[in-house]
Each structure stands twice: as structure tokens, then as C-alpha cells.
Amino acid sequence: MLTVKQLTAFYGDFQALFGIDFTLEHGECVAIIGANGAGKSTLLKTICGQIRVPADAIAFEGRPIGSTSTDRITEMGIAMVPEGRRLFASLTVEENLLSGRFSKRTGKWNLDTVYQLFPDLLERRHHLATQLSGGQQQMVAIGRALMSNPKLLICDEISLGLAPIVVKGIYAALPGIMADGLSVILVEQDVDMAQRMSNRLYCLMHGKVALEGVSEQLTRQQISAAYFGV
């Protein structure tokens, strides 16, 4: 579904990624881990078109998208749940969810199916986003991305700042999200959760791939060595 080949990325004169190779198959969940500054968010931004790279550095379903605009990438079927949620504070839960429909893609996800996935949101659909708990806001952010009916859902640090019990509840929804073959890229600070929820795992360090493998086959020692560079 997604292929990244020898990807480099810059912020001005600062190079953030060095020759990244990355693949994702249909219906697969791939986790990306790494310390702060490892390049995780930069990699996601290049996939979503927020950082332009050579067109053929990234291919989605066989089509080069490295130099494609964010809006067009969303229309093609890639949606992101951004770090920090970035909800519209002045809009209600339902209005935030509806804002995800701008791509006009059709499919399983609509208000009814999002509310079935996250029943808490149905009860609070007329509340402002700022009136929700952190976990509920994260549900809105996920639901908004799903409303675009993506083929690929990218989740950037969705557990950040949330209590463990809330994180567990959010991740309990992931199998239902992927039930119809949706692919997921998961950037996660909780290494145990990342390994448990994913099919394959990449660890980045200083903008390079330090480790890649089948999640259940990687040992804690291998992951620790790649994560900390020891």
C-alpha cells in the first residue's frame, strides 16, 4: 500500500531524515517508535504532504505522492490523527466530526458508525470540544479522521498525556477500526503498547531506521538497544 524509499527530509538547512526505507501493506498496523527528535513526526509529515519531498520518494498504492499537496493526499485516502488532537475549540463534538468529511470520500464511516465506535461522544455531541476530557477529545480526533473514510489512518502519539485506563479504552477500538481492511501507522510513546498492537515495528534514531521487524518477534533487548543506541 505505502512504500518509502531512501527518504531524506529537511527543515531549512537541518536534515531530519536520512535514507528512510519503510513499507506498509493493506490491512496492516505498523508502529513507529523512537526517542524525542528521532524523526517520527517528520516521517509522518512527509507521508501526509506537510513536508514536500521528491515525488518518487513516497508511493501510495503505486502512485508517487512525495510532492503532492495535503488536501490531495487526503482525497486519495490518507488521514492523520495529529499529536495534540488539534480540535476546533469553538465547534461542538458533532461539528468537529463533520469537519472530517471535506474530502467527500464515501465508505463505512459516518456519524452513526463513529458514535457506535465511541458511545461517549453520542451523549456529548452538542458539547463544545473544550468541555470534554482528554480521552474524549482523542476519540473526537480519531472519529474526525475516520469521517474522511481513509484507506490509511496515521495516529501520532494518541496516548500522550492520557491516563493508562483511558489509553486502554481507546486502543480497544482499534480492531473495530481495522475490521474492514483499513491500514494503520501508529506512532506511540508506550513501547509495550506499540509492540502489542502492531504487526511490524520500526524504531527510528537520529533520523535513521535503527530496527525493523515483526513486532512479536522482537525482544526487549533488541528494542532497547535500538531506542537508546546502546
What pLDDT does residue 82 have? Answer: 87
Per the CB < 8 A criterion, the answer to whether 80 and 156 are in contact is yes
How many structural domains compose the chain?
Answer: 1
What pLDDT does residue 103 have? Answer: 78
What pLDDT does residue 117 have? Answer: 93
- The CATH number of residue 194's host domain is 3.40.50.300
Q: What is the spatial distance between Cα 185 and Cα 112, in angstroms, rounded to a whole number?
A: 25
Residue-number span of the structural domain to which 178 is assigned: 2-228
H helices present in 9-110, as ranges? 40-47, 70-76, 93-98
For residue 57, what is the DSSP state?
Answer: G
Per-residue b or e along 188-211, where b marks 16 or more CB atoms closer than 10 Å to that residue's CB: bbbbebbbebbbbbbbbbebebbb
What average pLDDT values come out for the chain (230 residues) when binned by 10 residues? 96 94 96 94 94 94 94 94 85 95 87 94 94 92 95 92 88 91 94 94 97 96 91
Q: Which residues partner with 30 through β-bridges?
A: 185, 200
